[in-house]
Amino acid sequence: MTTYRRAGFAACLGAALLVSNAAAQSTQATQSPVVKRSILVSDGHSRILDPKLAGGGADFAFHLEGTGSLAAQVRVLDGTSPIATVWTGTHVAGAPPTSVFWDGTAGGQFVDVGDYALRVSPQAGPGPVLTVPVSVVRLGITEIEFQDSAAGNDEWQMVYFKKNALDGQFFATPAIHEYLCTAESGEASDLDLDSGAPRPAVAIHTATDEPVMQGTAYETDSFNYPLSYLAGASPRLEVTFGNSATTASGQRQIVGYPVAGFDIRATATFSTGGSATSGPILPGGTATFDGDPLTAQVDRTEVTVTWTWEYAPAGGGAWTDVPGSFATTHRFYTLIGAPKFKAGASGTKYTGPWVEVADYLSSWKNTLGIDTSTEAGVVEAHVKGFVGQNGGIPTAIEGVVYDAYPLGGDGGATHYHSFGSWNMDLSALLNDHAKGIYVNCSDNMGATTTMLSMMGVENVRPVRLGPMTLNAIWGIGAPGYTLSLWGTAHSFSYHHIVTRTDGFSVIDTCMQLDADGNPGALPGTPGWNVDRIWTGPTGYDDLSSTNTVSTSLENLPGLN
């Protein structure tokens, strides 16, 4: 507690009395009583403040010791000049401390960084005075780079597949900073707008197909892109602190720290419950913070980080809060494993999982209430979400329909998958089915292998089935079960599905089988092809066709 005192005084009077009589003579001295004066005492104040933080400013508490009362005021001094009055009132000696708060403004504008003072003094006339120093600084962050956790190799860039509404133009999120909030071209400073107001945090870019754009160019001054991590990983954040601010008149200014005799440090508090604190920081410097573990499931999670600062005497001592905070919110997509792409693949489309694919999986998982902490759960969410039609999702992915004559198709041609090259034009499919609503089995196989592999599912491979005379099936996008897929014939000359167990079990997003115990007749009972075993009374071979179906595993060059 810092005490500022205006000293009392004692006046002394000497009186000499001369008494004469016949017997004796004596001299006496008398002294007036001590007059006790009141003093103002500080109960603590914010030595360092940033008024542009949310809730930022200076706290100040003080009380009156002695006797009586004092009509007082608290003013802000810039040097010796008062620039604002933040409190007026009457103190009574012995009463609880008075608390005041200065929001760091004068005349309705934020003051510039620098040294100021808060002074308590009488409203009129002489009396006790208490003055405390305060330093106004500017604290904030301009960049956040999300790195692998301490375990290593568990964070990947994400990919957008569209630019200016055209699919097939790929953009990988930045590798060095997924969050950037700095000066636009021509602006005065990084941390503030040209009005002197604090620059707001950048909102999450929620589009899943296209990056942040400024006309025909990518936005380069501010963005907040999503992240992808291995499920259960603990993100590591490298933060860059701002080194320039803006005055009330729109001019660039320094951020005002280090403050002589004090260290400043930053703390990141995560909405998931944990926190991490840096060592002493410098303008334009960096600090690393380890976040909480993310969900153990394939999902989408948004985490808010509240940034706060503290100061302490340089070289040691207790840390004190700088009032106020700054918050950023970030979107994380979690994967079941490392994304799988073909060996030697290059280009931005192979940098990491596509944002829209990860968003689809998380949406399906949450809509259907599926546990996606295992590969089997990821496959279940993918199949049921991709096919849709029942179980909580009303339509198939992108509203596609099986390419059969009775459904308006042209008879089973591929629209998005190319034989020979084995390329899957997933970007066109996800771009509002840019090549039409019709798909066949190869289109669905190509989409499924690609999407599951992006999310880290292992050993995803195509399976080619030989000629099949079909039982009752429910094709993707169709109104229900049928025994007349083509209007007359009810068979496949070939059929593409997927396996992740080398054919022991299979995955099919093209159709649902009839699981009512009588697969050759209508009506049907939906049977999802989620890692369905190949043989046996509930196996894919028995339910899908009246004849024994031959299989062959195929390597898809687009994937490992």
Cα angle 340-239-319, degrees, rounded to a multiple of 5: 140
Domains of the chain with CATH codes: 39-136 (2.60.40.1930), 141-335 (no CATH), 348-553 (no CATH)
Helix axes 355-368 and 375-387, enclosed angle (nearest 10) = 90
- In sequence order, the 6+-apart residues with CB closer than 8 A to the CB of 131 are 4, 77, 117, 118, 119, 120
Give φ, ψ of 182 to 5 degrees.
-140, -175
Question: Hunting for tokens 């280009």 — which residue is that?
Answer: 347
**pLDDT tens per residue across span 67-102:** 899 999 999 999 999 999 999 999 899 999 999 999
**pLDDT value for 372:** 98
**pLDDT value for 200:** 97
- Going 543 to 546 to 547 to 549, the CA torsion angle's sign is negative
The CA distance from 41 to 467, in Å, is: 94
Q: Which of 233, 242, 291, 293 is nearest to 267 (CA)?
A: 291
- In sequence order, the 6+-apart residues with CB closer than 8 A to the CB of 317 are none
Question: Hunting for tokens 């009392």 — which residue is that?
Answer: 8
**pLDDT tens per residue across span 137-154:** 999 999 999 999 999 999
Question: How many other C-beta atoms are found inside a 10 Å radius of the C-beta of residue 463?
Answer: 21
pTM of the model: 0.90
User: Does the pLDDT of residue 13 top 70, yes or no?
Assistant: no
The CA distance from 301 to 310, in Å, is: 29
**pLDDT tens per residue across span 223-239:** 999 999 999 999 999 99
Q: Which of 238, 242, 266, 269 is nearest to 175 (CA)?
A: 238
Q: Which helix (H) or strand (E) element contains residue 227? A: strand 227-230
Q: In which band, very low, low, confident or very high, does the pLDDT at 11 lie, cut at 50, 70 and 90? A: very low
Q: DSSP code of 29?
A: -
**pLDDT value for 215:** 85
The CA distance from 176 to 183, in Å, is: 18
Asked, as a colleague might, if the bond just before 258 is cis with ω within 30 of 0, I would say yes
